[in-house]
Structure 1
């Protein structure tokens, strides 16, 4: 597996643990439909939360939310629509982006953008 893929998977695990610690209930990881993938799916306070995870080693090239473009958002929404139908989800949903930032010392920080798009 390429190094950037390994870092991405590690970031997803860190976000899964971090959000679970904040009271989110984990449902699924890496849900795929056609060419679309949702990194993580949680339930939180009656909402189904679809989470896109982005890893960054510093912010010199921009923040995580800047790397979820229109095409990526459309793919995530398409997969979410399929998931909602498949699971017969009848409540509200939300799309979040969580940036995982690693500084020069290896420290990890998170930045969550709730309701980042729709």
Structure 2
């Protein structure tokens, strides 16, 4: 059985591949700041997209996309704004998406849901 961190890293790799296959350009992975971490920073056209990846093997504690607390959402918004400030992109159009992945015990991705503009800033 893989550890929780392994599931997260595997989910992020699946999400990154999913995004690049659909024309997104990856700018950063696991970007860290005092406020928190952004799993994936991508761009598509003129929009910067911050992607929170939620990967789970079980829905015992809810489906992956249901596990974002109000506190985590606020932290993502603050961290996204810090990324924009750090890269001189204060005027850029941006959004926060969620990619929810339900893995089986072999780390296959039988279900992937991409929720665009999932968190409003």
Same fold (TM over 0.5): yes
Structure 2 SS opposite 1:116: strand
For 1:101, the equivalent position in structure 2 comes to 102
RMSD of Structure 2 on Structure 1 (CA): 1.7
TM-score relative to the length of structure 1:
0.89
TM-score relative to the length of structure 2:
0.87
Partners of 1:96 and 1:84 lie apart in 2 by: 16
Structure 1 SS opposite 2:50: strand
1:110 aligns with 2:106: no
| Cα offset, 1:10, TM superposition | 1.1
* Residues matched between the structures, number: 117
Deviations 1:74-97 (A, max 9, x none): 111111111101111132101001
Q: Please, which runs of 5 or more residues in structure 1 have no aligned partner?
A: none
List structure 1 segments (4+ residues) > 2 angstroms apart after TM superposition: 58-62, 103-107
Deviations 1:28-69 (A, max 9, x none): 011111141111000012110000001122445422221111
Q: Please, which runs of 5 or more residues in structure 2 have no aligned partner?
A: none
Partners of 2:52 and 2:107 lie apart in 1 by: 22
